[in-house]
Amino acid sequence: MPLHSAGLEVLVELSSRECPIHTHIVSCNHEVAPTLSTILKDLLSFDNGTRIDVVDYVQLENTQASSHLDIVASIMEAPGVTNWDDNPRPRLLSALSIPSKPKGLGACSLSLPADMLQTSVYPVAGKGENARPEWLSCLSPMGAITAPHKDYHGSSQVMYHISGEKLWMLWPPTPNNLLWYGKRRDRTSTTNRTVEAIREMEGMTVLHVKDPIGFSLPPYGIHAVITFSASSHAGIRVWGYDWIDEAFPAIINEIEWAGNAASNRIPASDGIEILQDILAELKNWDRLLKEKGMHGRADYASQLLAEARKKAHAKVSALTKQVSNVRIGNAAGEKY
């Protein structure tokens, strides 16, 4: 199995070095302990028309085509597959962002620690009395290997491991690590990127999870994951004052990266799209200032937010001009 050898390479690489344990452990409370069946309930309560991000680790592509039952079947079948080159190719499907439903994970009342709640905001599902943290969960089959990546544009995340056995590898968003990531991002690679990340990035920590545990990832925290047995976990985005020193330099870094599309070998239109996503996510910091504005760092956060917004808008205008110049150039070319 190709994934087997890729996983083995990662484990051999890890075994050759010191791997400090990830220390950002977060105590999440719940009224009812979430289980694998809680997450299956969430997955199966959606009709097939609902878009849930699904990745096939054999074909290494995002696939929206599979039904929710295909995911369950793949999770059940994965341990028994002997030939991953068979025709048709077996699939190894993970569901990456399953929204919690009131009768599924919502009923567990999984919450963030009180001190974090005082200084941060997070997405909320439902209204009034039914309002609850909007956790998204993830179901992965045995053998899934998620390459190093970052999620979103500047929120930190709290993860809560629910079931199964996994190894998380985590890298802090240092300038060197962001540079490494920016160079490799969005490019398909035939090399083992997790091994490269272990060798080339700085400050890696690891977390081997088997029992339920909560932990946090900083904004732009880069992470890779190996799943040893069918697993489930939930995650939630968090915007808080404790994270602004890490979040804003990395947001500016990504704005520069997307804004300098040509030198980073991405199409200008993709650069604009990424900048628009960043601008949309910046609104969550407005929410923080509005809902928790009495904090001692509110003015500072507001200043960082204004600077990031200004820079993103300037880059969008510059890239938009580039795109329209190319269009005018092409039109002229067609004419003559």
Selection from ligand AKG, Fe ion, none that 155 binds (CB < 5 to 8 A by kind) is: none
Q: Which of 4-12, 44-52, 104-112, 136-144 is the region at the interface with ligand AKG (rule: CB under 6 A)?
A: 136-144
For residue 111, the 8-state DSSP code is: B
User: What distance in Å separates the CA atoms of residue 176 and residue 213, rounded to the nearest whole number?
Assistant: 29
Task: Count other C-beta atoms under 10 Å from residue 264's C-beta.
Answer: 16
Q: Which has the closest alpha carbon to 158: 130, 193, 133, 195?
A: 133
140 binds ligand AKG (CB under 6 A): yes
Selection from ligand AKG, Fe ion, none that 245 binds (CB < 5 to 8 A by kind) is: none
* Residues binding ligand AKG: number (CB under 6 A): 10
238 binds ligand AKG (CB under 6 A): no
Q: Which of 43-51, 71-79, 140-148, 319-327 is the region at the interface with ligand AKG (rule: CB under 6 A)?
A: 140-148
Mask for 13-32, x = binds ligand AKG (CB under 6 A): --------------------
Q: Which has the closest alpha carbon to 139: 114, 164, 169?
A: 164
Q: Calculate the CA 130 to chain-centre distance.
A: 26
User: What distance in Å separates the CA atoms of residue 19 and residue 318, rounded to the nearest whole number?
Assistant: 43
Q: Calculate the CA 215 to chain-centre distance.
A: 14
For residue 262, the 8-state DSSP code is: T
54 binds ligand AKG (CB under 6 A): no
Least distance to Fe ion, CB of residue 152, Å: 9
Mask for 188-227, x = binds ligand AKG (CB under 6 A): -----------------------------------x-x-x
> How many alpha carbons fall within 13 Å on the CB side of residue 6?
22
**Per CB under 5 A, which of residues 138..167 are in contact with Fe ion?**
151
Least distance to ligand AKG, CB of residue 59, Å: 16
232 with 183: CB under 8 angstroms? Answer: no
Selection from ligand AKG, Fe ion, none that 225 binds (CB < 5 to 8 A by kind) is: ligand AKG
* 319 φ/ψ angles, rounded to the nearest 5 degrees: -70, -35
Q: Which is nearer to Fe ion, 77 or 151 (CB)?
A: 151
Q: At a CB cut-off of 8 Å and minimum separation 6, what does 331 contact?
A: none
Query: Exposed (0-12), middle (13-18) or buried (19+): which is 103, by Cβ within 10 Å?
Result: exposed
Q: Which is nearer to ligand AKG, 76 or 262 (CB)?
A: 76
User: What distance in Å separates the CA atoms of residue 142 and residue 3, rounded to the nearest whole number?
Assistant: 11
Please identify which residue in 113, 182, 212, 235 interacts with ligand AKG, judged by CB under 6 A.
235
Selection from ligand AKG, Fe ion, none that 140 binds (CB < 5 to 8 A by kind) is: ligand AKG
- Residue numbers at the binding site for Fe ion (CB under 5 A): 151
- Residue numbers at the binding site for ligand AKG (CB under 6 A): 94, 138, 140, 144, 146, 151, 223, 225, 227, 235
